[in-house]
Amino acid sequence: MVQIGDTIPSATFAYIPYTPELEDIAACGAPSKLSTDSWKGKKVVLFAVPGAFTPTCHVSHLPSYVKHYSELKAKGVDEIVCIATNDMFVMSAWGRANGTADKIIMASDTDAKFSAALGHTVDLSGAGFGTRTGRYALVIDNLKVVVLEVETNPSAMEVTSAEHILSKL
């Protein structure tokens, strides 16, 4: 399980980079890859959610980061990344539904591999979702974990909101 001070595991996420053409909900966008190696020398806020368009994630979690984007950037955050096990096209559509535009990278943690490497997955098989990313937030500085917050209840959002992460920067 990852701890504060650890180097994050190397990973590559699938995502759809924002382009103005994506304002048309019928557009799919061009798939791309995002490597954690690109975060060398950067401060990154990464937050993970169990699923796109699900109640807490859709109504509260992602919107908190959209709302506080400017404040996070003012605190020296270079990139904000949201991950879930949903595929890159769903993540892109979910981001567009929430107005993330080019502010938040909406990436797919396919099969929850990155989250598993961190030790933060959740088994939601009972709800028909299978293994998902847990609900957690990291502040990563030059590939090192400097803030780690994990929700013990995947339906809760107490320590992983943008407001709480702002208080840690």
Q: Is residue 57 flagged as an active site residue?
A: yes
Residue 72 forms part of a structural domain: yes
Amino acid code (one letter) for 8: I
Tokens at 93, concatenated: 């559509």
Per the structure, the count of domains in the chain is 1
Average pLDDT value over all residues in the chain: 92
Residue 1 forms part of a structural domain: no
* pLDDT score at 125: 66
CA distance 73 to 125: 37
The percentage of the chain sitting over the pLDDT mark of 70, rounded to a whole number, equals: 98
Taking the CA atoms of residue 20, residue 26, residue 30 and residue 32 in that order, the dihedral angle to the nearest 10 degrees is 90
The one catalytic residue in 57, 83, 106, 140 is 57
| CATH code for the domain of 49 | 3.40.30.10
Residue 21 forms part of a structural domain: yes
Q: What is the pLDDT of residues 80-100, one digit of tens each?
A: 999 999 999 999 999 999 999
Strand partners, 133: 121
Q: What is the pLDDT of residues 36-50, one digit of tens each?
A: 999 999 999 999 999
Rounded to two decimals, the pTM is 0.93
Three-state secondary structure call for residue 3: coil
Q: Which residues of 110-143 are buried (b: 16+ CB within 10 A; e: fewer)?
A: bebbbbebbebbbebeeeeeebbbbbbbbbbbeb
* pLDDT score at 154: 74
Residue 3 forms part of a structural domain: no
